[in-house]
Structure 1
Amino acid sequence: MNKTDRLLAIVLELQSREVIRGEDLAALFETSVRTIYRDIQALSEAGVPIIGAPGTGYSLMEGYFLPPISFTVEEAVTLLIGADFIEQRFDDEYRLRAQAARRKIEAILSEGVRNETSRVRKTLRLLSPSKPVTLSKERQYFEKIRRSILDKRKIRFHYLKGMADSKGNHHSDRTVAPYGLVLVEGSWMLVAHCDLRQEVRHFRLSRMTELLELEDRFEQPTQFNLREYQPSDDRHLQVRLRFNHDVVDKVKESNNRFIEEMEEHQDGLDVILRVRQLDELLQWVLGWGANVRVVEPESFRNRIREEAEKMLKRY
């Protein structure tokens, strides 16, 4: 990075933070602290109102804002694709904001950059993985949950569980304190503290019905950080499968979230998966028909055999 680019980048960093130390700027731009001192002096002499406090760091004088800057074609395409993604996957409020942001970005582009950006965007396309009805429902619930998160209000909903519980129930009513929303493999997940389980749990928006915003308020724990949060991994059951050569490429492309290892050899493809319950893999394994064999555990091999015998009786 040359000096001119670094000076601009420093101003953008100062503009996005309340205060930042010279040492942190040096680490960010991979240069010496002495060089940062000279850069700060050069910016001050150029009229940028930088305030420096010994032992604290640097900040911009309140009210100062860098005038609009030009975008390269790559930068403009990146921002516009981001706007396209938000328009597809977020609620109506953010969809309108994404459209407004796109118009503003396109308005400040030079004619040459705007034409080239349009040409590049025509070669790229985002396809939504969800059906229109499902996506519409997710958007509706996304908006309600997002508003509840900001208002710090609990929500209640009817939830369809992926697997039946010990009593054979597939549904449950949940009241939760919503902490955040996460997009996982094309589906929105709610991370929330569940009143029923008294712990942080995850819920797919597509499995929710009858969602209600409550008046009950909550306080999110100060130590909880959604970006750093890692859910506990309770997948303690290991399954080993062996696939025929004919379906190896299709298995690799399946992107099953339970897959941990794959090893191709002369007898086919060995796949190791870890799950909470063996039935989580039942339908997926049956879908490969005679092209897959359960190596272990024996209990799951027997479960597949029983299901195949039930299928045979139907025909």
Structure 2
Amino acid sequence: MNKTDRMLAILLELQQRKIVRAEDLASIFETSVRTIYRDIQALSEAGVPVMGAPGQGYSLMAGYFLPPVMFTTEEAVALLIGADFVERFDVGYGLKAQASRKKIEFILPEAVRADASRVRKTMRLLTPVNKATSEEEKDYVEMVRRAILEKRKIEFHYVKKMSDSTGDRKSFRSAAPYGLAFLQGSWTLVAWCDLRQDIRHFRLSRMKDLTVLEERFEMPPDFSLEAYRPPDDRNLQVRILANPDIADRVKESGNYYMETFEECEDGLLVSFRVRRPEEILQWVLGWGSDVVVLEPESFRDRIRDEAEKIFKRY
């Protein structure tokens, strides 16, 4: 932490607490007591009314406040939840988000801070139980972000899950990273792939041996991650019928490929749009006999084959 940041942080500590000892400040900011004395002196010379009581500590003159930032409760909650998200899911900016959250909380009027705290206690950011972010993936987030900022290419081995019985396929890629997105519990890289000569998407959880290269690239002037929309090549429709007893749970499952659902006398009719039926194979099998595939016929056959394999195992 540089001197300017530390002085602001000391000021925030003094504003939050009635009196603080130099030894406590030194412990908080991991510096020497002598450095804290110099910082306090610099604050005083800058016009901040810091009062010192021998043997007790430092405090701010009554009535002195930093210039207020007029956040509504809703605005404060939005900023704090955003900081919570970054702190939880991003290693590189996690500590920065934590510091930002504390600064926001410090400058909020007491009433707004209390309201924001009550609202935040009613909300949680959760990672799916079966998708905990690995330490390697967290490290890759930081490496890829650095590559994006420095406009450096990256290399990695990429493991692609195959829909047939051939297992996984591993390929070597070099790419120009354009941006990162957190989708459905996973970090996804949007990048120009040298192998495919086109923009491709790569899950960081499927990357191995990631390396940031010295080779640089230029971002296309017309590319914007915010405006970017990948081409939709999901051209195959799948329709299923779910038993009435699980209709609500099917609706709430939030399957990415689900397009429409319609309640009927026999249950819930659900339509999906996919590239390959195998993309929802595990999802359909997970409902067991409570779900019936109506079309296409080839997918019905695939479900039947999988059911027979399961039966043979038992």
Q: TM-score range by the shorter chain?
A: 0.7 to 0.9
1:139-195, Cα deviation, whole Å (9 max, x unpaired)? 211110000001111111122213359987522221111000112122211000111
> Structure 1 residues 265 and 115, CA, compared in 2 at 3 Å: closer, same or farther?
same
Structure 2: how far apart are the matches of 1:120 and 1:236?
Answer: 42
Q: CA shift at 1:130, angstroms?
A: 5.8
CA contact under 8 A between 2:158 and 2:172: conserved in structure 1? yes
After TM superposition, give the deviation of residue 101 of structure 1 in Å.
0.8
Give 3-state SS (helix, strand or coil) of 1:222's partner. coil
Residue in structure 1 matched with residue 36 of structure 2 by the alignment: none
Q: How much has 1:111 moved relative to structure 2? A: 2.8
TM-score with structure 1 length normalisation?
A: 0.73
- Name the CA shift for 1:143/1:113 in 2 (closer, same or farther; >3 Å): same
Change (3 A) 1:94 1:266: same
Change in 2 beyond 3 A, CA 1:107/1:297: same
Q: State the alpha-carbon separation in 2 of the partners of residues 194 and 130 from structure 1.
A: 32
1:102 offset after TM fit, Å?
A: 1.2
Question: What amino acid maps onto 1:80 in structure 2?
Answer: L
Shift of 1:137: 3.1
Mapped to 2, the partners of 1:166 and 1:216 lie a distance apart of 38
* DSSP 3-state at the match of 1:161: strand
State the shift of 1:286 in Å: 1.3
Match for 2:89: what amino acid?
A: R
Whichever residue aligns with residue 87 of structure 1, its letter is E
> For residues 152 and 165 of structure 1, what CA distance do their matches in structure 2 show?
37
After superposition, the C-alpha distances for 1:206-259 in whole angstroms (9 at most, x for unaligned) are: 221211111121111111111111111111211111111121111111111111
Q: Where do 5+ consecutive residues of structure 1 fail to align?
A: 1-66
Closer/same/farther in 2, CA of residues 250 and 73 from structure 1, 3 Å limit: same
Asked whether the 8 Å contact 1:177–1:192 carries over to 2, the reply is yes
Partner of 1:83: 83
- Structure-2-length-normalised TM-score: 0.73
Q: Secondary structure at the match of 2:225?
A: coil
Distance 1:286 1:119 in 2: 41
Following the alignment from structure 2 to structure 1, what is the Cα–Cα distance between the partners of residues 172 and 279? 22
- Hey, what does 2:275 align to over in structure 1? 276
RMSD of aligned C-alpha atoms? Answer: 2.1
Task: Note the alpha carbon deviations across 1:54-111, whole angstroms, 9 max, x for none.
Answer: xxxxxxxxxxxxx6523233322221111111101222x3111111111211221223
The one-letter code of the counterpart of 1:196 is L
Aligned CA distance change for structure 1 residues 281 and 274 (closer, same or farther; 3 Å): same
Give the conservation status (yes or no) of the 8 Å contact 1:159–1:173.
Answer: yes
- Alpha-carbon distance, 1:135 to partner: 4.5
Paired-residue identity, %: 60
Distance 1:176 1:164 in 2: 25
Contact 1:164 1:170 in 2 (8 A): no
Q: How much has 1:273 moved relative to structure 2? A: 0.9
Q: Could you tell me which residue of structure 1 aligns to residue 152 of structure 2?
A: 153
Asked if the contact 1:138–1:205 (Cα under 8 Å) also holds between the matched residues in 2, the reply is yes
Q: Supply the AA of the counterpart residue of 1:301.
A: R
- Using a 3 Å threshold, how does the CA distance of structure 1 residues 167 and 250 change in structure 2: closer, same or farther? closer
Alignment-derived partner of residue 314 in structure 1:
313
Q: How many pairs align?
A: 248
Q: Find the residue that maps to 1:235 and give its secondary structure.
A: coil
CA contact (8 A) 2:173 2:193 kept: yes
Task: Give me the whole-angstrom Cα distance separating, in 1, the residues matched to 2:156 and 2:129.
Answer: 21
* Secondary structure in structure 1 of the residue aligned to 2:162: coil
Distance 1:132 1:279, change over 3 A: closer
Contact 1:88/1:128, CA 8 A, preserved across alignment:
no
Q: What is the match of residue 227 of structure 1?
A: 226
The separation in 2 between residues aligned to 1:279 and 1:116, in whole angstroms, is: 47
Matches within 5 A, 1:1-315: 68-91=68-91, 93-129=92-128, 134-163=133-162, 170-315=169-314
